[in-house]
A and B are shown apart, each in its own frame.
Chain A
Amino acid sequence: MSRPATGISLAATFFGGVAIACVLWVSVAWLLISDAPRVWSARGQIDTTAADREGHELLKRASERVQEYSLQHGSLPQVLAGDESVPGCGFTLDELEGSYYVLANVVIRREEDSWVEIVAVPVTSAYPVLWMSFGATGYTDAGITDVEFFPLRAEQSQSHNGQ
């Protein structure tokens, strides 16, 4: 009676081992072909406080440089990091890149009110697009507004006027 029991036990152990091996192989294969590891790691690196601080610091530094350039030259720079052909305000392209945000290398002149805008682009969807606008004359009414994604001009104007 003990032999059949041993045989069944061995078979159960064998098939159990095969099943576990299959599960392990499928799991490894899934990890290799899916985006899950990237997503998990990216989530682990999300730090909204640090990102927010960095974005605002980048914008503040850039706005100060734009103001300095304007006072010295009497005109606005076209970009933040320029060269001989396009006037910039002293940045290099590398200086525009942070860990969470990248400053777009352009100084936008708004047609409707002659204000100037600079934009910080988030590196992932975990952070919002940041922008800073300031007046071209005197620069006395500067402000930073975090906007929801895909902002509407009307909303921007309201928040802008409310400051």
Chain B
Amino acid sequence: MPLIKSGQHDAPLGEALVLGGVARDRLRVRYSKDRRIPWLLDSTSNHTCEEFTGRYYATLNLVSYEGPGQAAVYVVTDTDDYQTLRIRFRYEDGDSHWEHMGPFGGVRR
């Protein structure tokens, strides 16, 4: 079942934002327990994490290191003409920044 209702304007983008936000929150919870940086969203190293797979987008099962206390998660898609999204965030306060990775980078909306 899609996280965002099909037919809604830019449902894929909405789904991507939800998936990335969920991944960020889960990583922050895990980090808060022992202050150790997780490198995967789950314990296996499959490239995409089933738990974080939607109808249009999927979260890559890896955590990209962005600096002390900071990380990034990638949300990728096979939906035509949509871009990869990257959410950069800080573990401590959850401060986040979304990026569209494609030719028209930056925050689109």
Which residues from chain A sit less than 8 Å from chain B, CB to CB? 35, 38-39, 41-43, 45, 78-79, 81-83, 85-86, 88, 93, 102, 104-106, 108-111, 117, 119, 121-125, 129, 131, 147, 149-153, 156
In the complex, what residues of B have CB within 8 A of residue A78's CB? 39, 65
Return B87 CB to nearest CB of chain A, in Å: 13
Contacting residues, chain A, for B44 (C-beta < 8 A): 111, 153
Contact A117 B45 (CB under 8 A): yes
CB of A149 within 8 A of CB of B78, answer yes
Instruction: Find chain B residues with CB under 8 A from A85 CB.
Output: 68
Q: Please tell me if B48 contacts chain A, counting CB pairs below 8 Å.
A: yes
> A83 to B43, alpha carbons, bound, how many Å?
25
Structural contact, B63 and A106, CB atoms closer than 8 A: yes
Are A122's CB and B76's CB within 8 A?
yes
Chain B positions within 8 Å of A110 at CB level: 45
Which residues of A sit under 8 angstroms from B78, Cβ to Cβ? 125, 149-150
- Cβ–Cβ < 8 Å partners of B60 in chain A: 104, 119, 121, 129
Our pick among A108, A109, A121 for the contact of B76 (Cβ within 8 Å) is A121
Question: Do B64 and A106 touch (CB < 8 A)?
Answer: yes
Is the CB of B62 closer than 8 A to any CB of chain A?
yes
Chain B interface size band reads 35 or more
Is the contact region of chain B dominated by helix, strand, or loop, or is it mixed?
loop
Report B's interface with A, CB cutoff 8 A.
10, 37, 39-40, 43-48, 53, 58, 60, 62-68, 72, 74, 76-84, 86, 101-105
B77's partner among A42, A106, A125 (CB-CB below 8 A) is A125
Please name all residues of chain A whose beta carbon is closer than 8 Å to the beta carbon of B76 when the two chains form the complex: 121-122, 125, 129
Q: Is A106's CB under 8 angstroms from B103's CB?
A: no
- Top 4 nearest A-B pairs by Cβ distance? A123-B101, A124-B102, A79-B65, A149-B78
Asked if A150 and B81 make an inter-chain contact with CB atoms under 8 angstroms apart, the answer reads: no
Question: With A and B bound together, what is the CA distance between A45 and B81 in angstroms?
Answer: 11
B68 close to A108 (CB less than 8 A): no
Closest to B80 in A: A125
B81 is contacted by which of A39, A82, A86, A117 (Cβ under 8 Å)?
Answer: A39
Known: A111-B45, A125-B80. 4 other contacts (CB 8 A): A88-B65, A119-B60, A150-B78, A151-B47
